[in-house]
Amino acid sequence: MTLMTSGLSDKSGLRAPGEPLLVWPGKAYPLGATFDGNGTNFALHSDVAEKVELCLFDKEGDETRIPLTEVDANIWHGFIPGITPGQRYGYRVHGPWDPENGLRCDASKLLVDPYGKAFDGEFDGDSSLFSYDINNPEQRNQEDSAAHTMRSVVINPYFDWSNDRRPRIEANKTVIYETHVKGLTMTHPDVPDHLRGTYAGLAHHSIIDYFTELGVTAVELMPVHQFVHDDRLRELGLKNYWGYNTLGFFAPHRDYAASQSAEGAVAEFKQMVRSYHDAGIEIILDVVYNHTAEGNHMGPTLSFRGIDNAAYYRLVDKDAAHYMDYTGTGNSLNVRHPHTLQLIMDSLRYWVEEMHVDGFRFDLASTLAREFHDVDRLSAFFDLVQQDPTVSQVKLIAEPWDVGEGGYQVGNFPDLWNEWNGKYRDTVRDFWRGEPSTLGEFASRLTGSSDLYAGRRPAASINFITAHDGFTLTDLVSYNEKHNEANGEDNRDGESHNRSWNCGVEGDTDDEDVLRLRAQQRRNFLTTLLLSQGTPMISHGDELGRTQHGNNNVYCQDNEISWIDWENADEDLQAFTRRLIELRQNHPVFRRRRFLAGGPLGEDVAKRDIAWLTHDAKLMTDEDWNFDFGRSLMVHLNGQGIVEPDLHGRPIEDDSFILCFNAYHEALTFTMPRRHNVMHVEPSEEDSWTVVIDTSVPKGVPEERRELAPGEEIEVPARSVIVMQRPLSD
C-alpha cells in the first residue's frame, strides 16, 4: 500500500517532500513499534476491533492516519520504511461501542501503544473528554482527544552496554534500599541542579558512592514505568508522586529523564543501570501489573480500554459496564486473558533483557493470582514465571496482599518468590512499643519466619520496619496518629493503625528525654532489622532521620514532605546503620542460607546453632515463652554451628554473638552464659565477650572496649539492645 503524505514528509524530515509513504505487511510479532534500522514495524492486538488506524504525528503535531490492513490472530500490523526513532504515534481503534456489554471502542480517542517504549506529552484534558458517564448514556463525548493526550514514541533499541555484567548478589547477602528517583536526589547538594530528580541524577557518582559506603547491595526503585497523574489530584494542585498509576509497562517515566528528547529517557535509564552494575549494585523495579491508570468505569480512555476493554480488564460478570476492583484503584488487569498475560511477561522480559534490571517487586501481587475470585497460588501467571528462562532467574518479590477478600497471602507464594513480610513489620513494631504476648513471635521473625517460609529459605522473608507506604522510621517513634491533612482528604486517607509510639509527646518537641528515647528506639529497630535472618530492606532516608511530619500516605506529596532532606541528615544514625550492615555482611551467622535448627545438630551437642535464654542465662521454657508480659530475651548465635557449606562447598564457621533485647521500661541485669549452660561443654577461661553494639549510647557503638567473662553480669538499659561478640579463635 502506498499513501501520499507530503505534509508528514515535509515537516517530519523522515523523507523528501512528496515522497510516497509505503506500508508493507510487516509482522505480527513482536507487538509494539520495532525499529530495525530501515523502518519500523507496528503491531497491535485487539479481538474486537473492526478497523485500526496507525496515527503518525509530525513535528508540528499534524496527524496522518494509516489503516493497518494486515491482521493475523487478531493482531493488526504493518511495516513502514523510513520511520525512525523519535517518530510520535498512536492508534485509533474502530469497533463496537456498547459499555453495558463491556465494549468501549471509540475512534475519537487517540490511544497510546500498550507496548510503547517511550512517551511524549501529557494527559492534560478535562476528564469528560476521555470518559463516559455510565449514569448518563447520552453524555458520550466524541470530541477528538489527540491534542490533550500523550503520544507513543519509536525508540532506538541499540545501546552500548560495554560488557555490562549483572552483579548477581547472593540472596543471603542482599541488603535492599527502597527509594524514589526524585525523592532521593532532589535536594542532594552534590547532584547538579539540572540532574536532580532524574535517572542521570540517580547515577551521579555522589549517590552511587553513598550506597557503596552504606553497604546496600540492591536499590529498589519505586515505580518508573510511565504513569499519569490522577484527574482528582490535578484539580487539587497535587501529583501522583509515588507513581502507582501505570500507563506504559515498557517505558521509563518521561519526567524522570534529564534528556530533552522523549526517546532519550530509555538510553538515560540504561546508562543509570550500567553505572550501578559497575559499582556492584543491583537495580530492582517496583512494578504495578495489577491495574492501570484508566481507573473505574468513569475513568479516561487512554489506551487499553479503547483497544480491547474486556481483554485487558476484569469486568463484573453480570454488569460488564463496571470493573472488578481488587486494588482500590478502580480496575484490575485481566490475568485470565492470554494477551494480557503476554503483555505482562513481555514487559518483564523487556526490562530484564533490554534494560538489564535485576529483579522486580510486584505491587499488590495477590491480584495477579486471582484466576476467578479467590487467590490461587498456582495461577497461570505464576506458572508462566516459573517456566520462563529469563524472568525466573532474577529476584522476584511479592507484596503478598491486595484489598480484595482473602487477599492477605503472606507466606503463601510459590517457592521461587520472596515476599514483603508484613508479619515481621507488625511483630517488631509491637515488641519495641511494649505490646504484650509478642515474645515468641518476635523470636520467630528474628530467625527468618520459618513458620511462613519453611519450604523456602530465610532470604524469602523480606524484612522491613517501614516502607514508602506508612510512617518513616523517625515518625514511627514520634507520632501516635497520622497527620495527612496536606493530602486534601481531611485526614481520612492512610492507615490508622500504625503500631507506632510517640515516646510521650506527639510530633515535634524540645524535651531532651523524649528525643533521647526516640533516637534509641530508632537504633533498636535498625539493629533488629539488620541482624535478623532473612533479607533486610531499608526505606530511603530512615538511616538519615527523614521525617514526613506525621504524614503516612505521601503518595501525592511531590515536595519537601516526601523528599530526603540531605542538609539535615543525622550523620550519627547513618554511621550506625553503616556499622550494622558491615557487621551483617562480615558475619554469615546473621545471614544464614538455611534456617537455624535450634537444637543439637548431629551427635556433637556443642554445635547447637542457636540458644534462647532468659536474662539470667537460663534456657527458655514454655512458661517463659508464654509469659504475657515478656519483654526481654537473650539470643546466643553459635558461629561454629553454621554447618551448611558456602557456594564453593566449604564449611562455614564464624564468630559467635549474644544479643540481649530489653523492651522493658526499666533496666534489666543480664548474666553472661557459660558454655556448659548453653551447649553442655566445659567452660573455658577464654570465653570472653566483647560489646560491639549498645543502642543505649548516643552513637550506638561503645567508645571504650568492654569485655565480659562467663557468669559476669551486665546491665541492659531500658528499651535497648546490646550485642556481644566472641571471636572464633576462642
Q: How many CB atoms lie within 10 A of CB 356?
A: 19
Q: How many CA atoms lie within 13 A of 40 on its CB side?
A: 25
Q: Is 266 strand, coil or helix?
A: helix
Q: With contact defined as beta carbons under 8 Å apart, do 643 and 607 qualify?
A: yes
**What torsion, rounded to 10 degrees, do the Cα atoms 580, 584, 589, 595 define?**
110
Nearest to 252 by CA among 290, 216, 212, 199: 199
The residue type of 514 is V
For 456, residues 6+ apart whose C-beta sits below 8 A from its C-beta are 415
**What torsion, rounded to 10 degrees, do the Cα atoms 386, 388, 393, 399 define?**
-50
Q: With contact defined as beta carbons under 8 Å apart, do 409 and 374 qualify?
A: no
Q: What share of the chain is helix, strand, coil (3-state, %, to 5)?
A: 30, 20, 50
Residue position matching grid coordinates 511479592: 398
For 548, residues 6+ apart whose C-beta sits below 8 A from its C-beta are 471, 472, 475, 554, 557, 561, 562
Q: Of 10, 286, 358, 363, which residue is the catalytic one?
A: 363
Which CA distances in Å does 245 have to 230, 292, 295, 461?
Answer: 8, 6, 9, 27
Tell me which long-range contacts 105-108 makes (C-beta under 8 A, separation of at least 24).
Answer: 105/48, 105/49, 105/50, 105/306, 106/140, 106/142, 106/301, 106/306, 107/51, 107/53, 108/141, 108/142, 108/143, 108/144, 108/145
For 298, residues 6+ apart whose C-beta sits below 8 A from its C-beta are 131, 132, 133, 134
Q: What is the distance between the alpha carbons of residues 186 and 275, in angstroms, rounded to a whole number?
A: 19
Nearest to 591 by CA among 650, 634, 529: 529
**Angle CA 518–530–202, to nearest 5:** 90
Cell of 217: 547491595
**CB burial class (10 A; 0-12, 13-18, 19+) of residue 94?**
middle
| 399 catalytic residue (yes or no) | yes
Cell of 290: 495489577
Tell me which long-range contacts 413-418 makes (C-beta under 8 A, separation of at least 24).
Answer: 413/365, 413/377, 413/382, 414/377, 414/378, 414/382, 414/386, 415/455, 415/456, 416/385, 416/386, 416/392, 417/382, 417/460, 418/171, 418/459, 418/460, 418/461, 418/462, 418/535
- Helices assigned H by DSSP within 13-161: 127-130
Residue position matching grid coordinates 484489598: 403
Radius of gyration of the chain from its Cα atoms, rounded to whole angstroms: 28
Buried b (16+ CB within 10 A) or exposed e, 533-542: bbbbbbbbbb
| 363 catalytic residue (yes or no) | yes
Peptide bond into 389 cis (omega under 30): no
Q: What is the distance between the alpha carbons of residues 102 and 643, in angstroms, rounded to a whole number?
A: 59
Cell of 28: 505480527
463: region left, alpha or beta (phi > 0 left; psi from -120 to 50 alpha): beta
Q: With contact defined as beta carbons under 8 Å apart, do 151 and 302 qualify?
A: no
Q: Of 10, 70, 325, 399, which residue is the catalytic one?
A: 399
Element (H, E) at 519: helix 512-530
Q: Which residues pair with 39 in a beta bridge?
A: 81
Q: How many CA atoms lie within 13 A of 682 on its CB side?
A: 2
- Residues recognised as catalytic: 363, 399
